[in-house]
Structure 1
């Protein structure tokens, strides 16, 4: 599949890595609340090769957000030890970005990681029907953003987690 490489060009998606950030930065300059984000090509996974595909799809889906939470946790521990304001600022940003990524990716809209959890929990027939949303997922997410997906779901979860970690805005 050609993705096991340190060459960043192999991970670039024309729409998600180039056009989307340019569009969102332009909209942001015009006053849009959308944060400028970018997407890489999804990591291909052959679920048929997993010993238990139903459980495996859950593990694959939870791996990314779990790593984001672990990074935020480690950064919050380092933040408690940091005597320097610049280091504190960097650690705060690391915590915030990783928690935003973790909670945003847990939204159950394909191809986000939260959809993998849902697919693993649904019966096979419903999981297949649900997976057919994947080609439209990016458009669904962008349709939901103006309705408060980010402000009403992701940000409150991030802020609550930061409070639990003892990180204050």
Structure 2
């Protein structure tokens, strides 16, 4: 019975496989420019790929917690990659997708619920928190690989632009998640090393960390500096046309012409 339960709780969810299928089909549509609206295909491809990365982000937290001693993540369904199993589906999936649609930023979501009392050792706690954003870093490396490997020959422009925009989401998500703000993974990395008194004082601020990030980025000067920094990172990886990818993604505002210059 225990073996059967373990296999069931680790089996990849049909929901996740369905999202991957949407990503694959829409990616093919972008590559071949099959649909009448390339922008809509880019929208489906980037959105589904973004959700896949969010699922992998949460899976990385859960998988690391499992190997660190919290076997409860199995029964919670976190190892199935099913986004509907997350404790904070609204924070983990819905809000990050809405922020991408609204402004094109990879805002970090809420984490899976880890029973920290089952885990011993500060390094393990830090690694569990770091595992999620490290997944975004890995995703960004994969998305930008054709650029820094100079392997773009034969890649259609719309697909290249879509990859650039998807890379932007991963880089922003990684940077924001690693900020040492209560409620985000960056704070989770350093929290085990703080004194009990400081942790108790900071704990009430955790639910508002995400809102704080959003409010600060809403300030034009701060948001501009942040995107300049992200743009510098992407340019270092060979990506210089993520803005055109965002224009394709927001197809309801009108699609840019393929090969059009990147907007400032």
TM-score normalised according to structure 1 size = 0.72
Q: Please state if 1:116 is matched with 2:188.
A: yes
Q: How far did 1:13 drift?
A: 4.5
Q: Does 1:75 align with 2:150?
A: no
More contact order relative to length (CA 8 Å, sep ≥ 6):
2
Matched, 1:60 2:128: yes
Match of 1:11 among 73, 79, 86: 86
Aligned twin of 1:31: none
Q: Give the C-alpha shift of residue 72 in structure 1.
A: 1.2
Deviation at 1:9, TM superposition (A): 2.8
Aligned to 1:143: 215
Which is higher, the Rg of structure 1 or of structure 2?
2
The 3 A distance-change label for structure 1 pair 160 and 58 is farther
The number of residue pairs the alignment matches comes to 160
Alignment check: 8 A CA contact 1:47 1:56 kept: no
- Across the aligned residues of Structure 1 and Structure 2, the Cα RMSD in angstroms comes to 3.2
Secondary structure, counterpart of 2:180 in structure 1: coil
Distance in 1 separating the partners of 2:104 and 2:87: 19
Runs of 4+ in 1 over 4 A off after TM superposition: 12-15, 17-25, 34-41
- Give the aligned partner of residue 20 of structure 2: none
Q: Does the Cα contact within 8 Å between 1:78 and 1:91 map onto a contact in 2? A: no
Q: Distance in 1 between matches of 2:133 and 2:97?
A: 22
Instruction: Provide TM-score, normalisation by structure 2.
Output: 0.50
Q: What is the CA deviation profile of residues 99-119 of structure 1, one whole-angstrom value per residue up to 9, with x for unaligned ones?
A: 011112122222111111231
